[in-house]
Each structure stands twice: as structure tokens, then as C-alpha cells.
Amino acid sequence: MADPRENAESRILLARVMLDELSVAHCADLVSSASAGAVVTFEGVVRDHDDGRGVEALEYEAHPSATAVLREVAVEIAHEHPAVAIAVEHRSGPLGIGDVALACAVASAHRAEAFAACGALVDRVKERVPIWKKQDFTDGSTEWVASLS
């Protein structure tokens, strides 16, 4: 029997950075299957505050390599969790409060692996994908923040 880690690439059903609105439901639909007993989703949503300051809006700027790095990260997670399917999207451009900035879904036969893989995916996206955000604060000031840790 083939090692499921060998087909990690084929288990990445979506990995992209885009200007359009994101849908975690679309990601979940992509990874759902008859063999998936668990589908774990995550939505990173723009909130109205950061570090005690009111936020009006955000703008994400992605490096040209961002989609490729996002895919690399997803493949790494698929290698580490050989029985998962992954769909992940990150938004670029202007976003308002309540908009989805990161959408991902991970499916697996069992919940523990789906939760672990989804958590690792979100953490690694934040650590590695070259995307920066400009925060527009309610006091009129702005601040650029690297998403990379």
C-alpha cells in the first residue's frame, strides 16, 4: 500500500491568495467526502480593535510569492498529517470589519487529526506566508504590520 504522505500535493484542493471575498463554506465543500468523519474550518475575521485601539479597516498586501508559499505550507501540513484534505485561502486588498481574511478547511476520518492539522495550518500561514496588513485606526492613524512572526 502506498504511503499517504507521498500524495500530499493531491490532497491540497485549494491554496490561493485572492482579492475576492472568501468563503469557508466553499473550502469545506471542497474537502468534504464520504470518508471524512470530521471537517474542521477556520475563519480569520477582521475585528474592530487591536491592542486597545479602534480599527476601521484593513488592507492586506501580498508578496508575489504568497500563493506559492501558502501552497508549500499546506503541503507541509499534509505531509505531517497524512490522512487530511486541505483547502485554504487568504485575502488581499482592502477589507472591512467582519470580512473574512483567512478561510481554511481540513477534512479527516477523525476529529483529532482534523483539529490538529487545521490549527497547525493557521499557525504556519501566519508565520510564513509573506502578507502584510495596513490597519486604519479610528483615530485617523495607520500602521503596517508584517504577518510573519
C-alpha cell at 43: 475563519
Q: Helix or strand or coil: residue 37?
A: coil
Phi–psi pair at 98, nearest 5 degrees = 90, -10
Predicted local confidence at residue 1, as pLDDT:
37
Architecture of domain 4-146: Alpha-Beta Complex (3.90)
Q: What is the DSSP letter of 31?
A: H
CA dihedral 100, 36, 79, 16 (to 10 degrees): -30
Predicted local confidence at residue 70, as pLDDT:
99
Task: Categorize the per-residue pLDDT at 6 as very low, low, confident or very high, splitting at 50, 70 and 90.
Answer: low
- Domain extents for the chain? 4-146
Cα three-residue angle 147-61-121, rounded to 5 degrees: 40
pLDDT in tens, 26-43: 999 999 999 999 999 999
